[in-house]
Structure 1
Amino acid sequence: MPKYVIERAIPNIGAVSAGDLQAISQKSCGVLRDMGPEVQWVHSYVTGDKIYCVYNATSEELVREHARLGGFPADSVARVVTTIDPTTAEV
């Protein structure tokens, strides 16, 4: 299944409480349950003013539909074409 990186601009998200992050996560998981297995949330990175999410999905449209149904911004959705890491540098 293709992997996507989603950028969500949310001012001051890095300062919200653990309870608020839990509520956001619960909302996301509820929407995903209703949508079925064709879209899956892997994990997210929370920074000061943005959340970067990694999803597996059969299409970009499903990722955007999840955002719409959940009321989350999806400022950028990019399909991952490959990954690199320090082992990529090895001969």
Structure 2
Amino acid sequence: MKLKDISAGPDWVVWIAFIVFAVFSIVLLLGRGSWLISGYNTASKEEKAKYKEKKLCRVMGSGMAVIAVLILIMGVFESILPVFFVYISI
């Protein structure tokens, strides 16, 4: 059974998800998206001083880039990938 056999929604949803994750990962990799990081954006100034903001953004951006690439692979190779790839990408 292939991924395309069980996908019931429109294909454009996957592409929009990829674009959103790609844009957020680029913003974070540039070190400018600390407002995207849950918990860090609501922390006090003393708590924020304990962390290197740029490094934290880059680590989170790297993680989001991996997820974006997995979503891209899922969208491009939908008719080839087996169903269990969904569990890998989630």
TM-score by length of 2: 0.28
TM-score by length of 1: 0.28
Higher-Rg structure is 2
* Bigger proportion of residues as helix: 2
